[in-house]
Amino acid sequence: MRVHALKRAVVALALALPGAAIASVVAAPAAHADGCYTWERSLYQGLSGSDVRELQVRVAGWAGRRDIVELDGRYGPKTAAAIRRFQAAYGIRVDGIAGPETFDKLYQLQDNDCTPRHFIYAELDDGCGQGGWTGGPLTADQTRQNALRTMWKLEALRRSLGDDPLIVTSGFRDRSCNSRVGGATNSQHLYGNAADVISNDRSLCQIARQARNHGFSGIVGPGVRGHNSHVHVDSRRENNRDGIPNRTYWSAPNCGI
C-alpha cells in the first residue's frame, strides 16, 4: 500500500510541473515479464513512439461516442481520454496517464498472442470455415492487425455490457467467402475491420446502442435487411481506401439508431 501511495504522490507532483520535467519524475512501470508486450516507461500526453501505438491498439475501444483513437503513435488528447475511460471502467485511479497500475490491468487482460482475454484470432478468422488471413485487399499481416484492434474494441464493449459474453458469428472473410455469403463488395469484413456479434445475455439493441461508445464507426443492426439476427460492428473510419476517408454510419432502426 505504501508503494502505491508513493507512486500516486509522484504522479500528482509530475502533473503540477512543466512538461519537460515530467519525464524525469513520473514513476517507471514496475518490471514485468509479459508474453505479448511489456511497456518500459509510463506514457502521457506529449510522448510518441511504438509503445504508444501498442497502447492505442488496446484502448481503441474506449474512444467515446462518435470518436476513434488513431493508431499514430502520438499520445494526444484522444488517447488520454481513452485511458481515463479505461481506468474508470476497471476501477483504476483516473488520471489519463498510462503507468504501472494501468499496465498491470492490461497485462491481466491480454494473452501471450496479444489478443484480449475473452477473444481469440480463430473467432475473427472464420473465412467460411477455411481459416487463413489471405484473399482480401490487404496483406495477411495487415488484416490480422486490424482483427486484433477489432477484438480489443469488442473487449471494451463486453466490459460495458457487464462482462456478459459476446459471440462472434462472422469476422474476416476473403473475397470468395464474402461473395458466397452475399457480403457487400466493399465490406469491412474483407479488411479484418468487422465482426458480427450476438449475445445470450444481452439483446441485439443493447449491443448496438452500447457499441456507439466504443470506437465503432460502423454499426448495422435490427431493422436493416439481413441484420435482424446479429449486430455488425466495424472500424470503417480507420480504413481509408484510395485516399477517400469513410464516415461514421450507424443504422439499427428497431433500436432507435
Residue 7 CA: distances (Å) to CA of 26, 28, 34: 8, 9, 22
**Rounded CA gap, 257 and 162, in Å?**
21
Could you tell me if 96 and 43 are in contact, meaning their C-beta atoms sit under 8 angstroms apart? no
Residue 218, pLDDT > 70, answer: yes
Residue 82, pLDDT > 90, answer: yes
Which CATH number, 3.90.226.10, 1.10.101.10, 3.40.50.880, 3.50.50.60, labels domain 28-109?
Answer: 1.10.101.10
Walk across the sheet containing 194-198 and list its strands. 167-170, 194-198, 231-234, 218-220, 249-251
pLDDT for res 127: 77
Q: Which of 189, 227, 230, 232 is catalytic?
A: 227
Residues 189-204 pLDDT 10s: 999 999 999 999 999 9
Residues 134-153 pLDDT 10s: 999 999 999 999 999 999 99
Which CATH number, 3.40.50.10490, 3.30.1380.10, 1.10.4190.10, 3.40.50.300, labels domain 121-255?
Answer: 3.30.1380.10
**Per-residue confidence at 230, pLDDT binned at 50, 70, 90?**
very high
Q: If you write DSSP's letter for every residue of 116-163 in order, what string do you get?
A: BTT--HHHH--GGGT--S-SSSS-HHHHHHHHHHHHHHHHHHHHHTTS
Candidates 95, 5, 90; CA nearest to 42 is 95
118 in catalytic set: no
How many CA atoms are closer than 13 Å to the CA of 160, on its beta-carbon side? 24
Residue 19, pLDDT > 80, answer: no
Q: What is the pTM of this model?
A: 0.87
Residue 2 CA: distances (Å) to CA of 7, 8, 9, 88, 226: 9, 10, 11, 22, 56
Residues 99-120 pLDDT 10s: 999 999 999 999 999 999 999 9
Could you tell me if 206 and 170 are in contact, meaning their C-beta atoms sit under 8 angstroms apart? no
Could you tell me if 171 and 119 are in contact, meaning their C-beta atoms sit under 8 angstroms apart? no
Coil, strand, or helix at residue 245? coil
Instruction: Please report the sign of the dihedral spanned by the C-alpha atoms of residue 12, residue 13, residue 16, residue 17.
Output: negative
Candidates 13, 58, 69, 223; CA nearest to 151 is 58
Domain borders along the chain are: 28-109, 121-255
